[in-house]
Amino acid sequence: MSTTELAPPAADLDADIPADGLTIGQVAARTGLSIDTLRYYEKEGLTLASPERSVSGQRRYFAADLRWIGSLVMLRRTGMPIRDIRRFVALSRVAANESERLEMLEGHRLRVLHELREVQNHLAAIERKIAFYREKVDHA
């Protein structure tokens, strides 16, 4: 997924799905992801299961698929590496390992909090520079 592709909130993704599901193009339009990204997620084993297929062989996506795609997008947008997402997916395919998934998410949260602190420090430095130059410009 490119940085310009932004999916809507997961709660909006699975609204009004027809009984026969959505095509990959419809899912791309709904999520803001490209068809290539959706195929990549499937090829790399990042979906919980391969999408169902219509009698003509066309992929069909349902509410659970869209909710999972929303989760993938959220994890990627928070900077989780594909290798960690792959591990999370593998854990999610098996029952009764919630403690391992929790541990993964807590570790990821710590990394995100660290990155957030770094960005906040950078922002504070920029604010100081702006104040410095604002003072110079205003008194020139």
Q: 39 and 77 in contact (C-beta within 8 Å)?
A: no
Q: What is the pLDDT of residue 9?
A: 55
Q: 30 and 22 in contact (C-beta within 8 Å)?
A: yes
Mean pLDDT of 29-42: 95
Token representation of residue 46:
């990042």
pLDDT in tens, 78-131: 999 999 999 999 999 999 999 999 999 999 999 999 999 999 999 999 999 999
Q: What is the pLDDT of residue 37?
A: 96
Angle between helices 82-92 and 63-77 (to 10 degrees): 150
CA–CA gap between residue 49 and residue 126 (Å, rounded)? 45
Q: What is the pLDDT of residue 2?
A: 45
Q: 27 and 66 in contact (C-beta within 8 Å)?
A: yes
Q: What is the pLDDT of residue 4?
A: 44
Q: Which residue has the higher pLDDT, 91 or 7?
A: 91
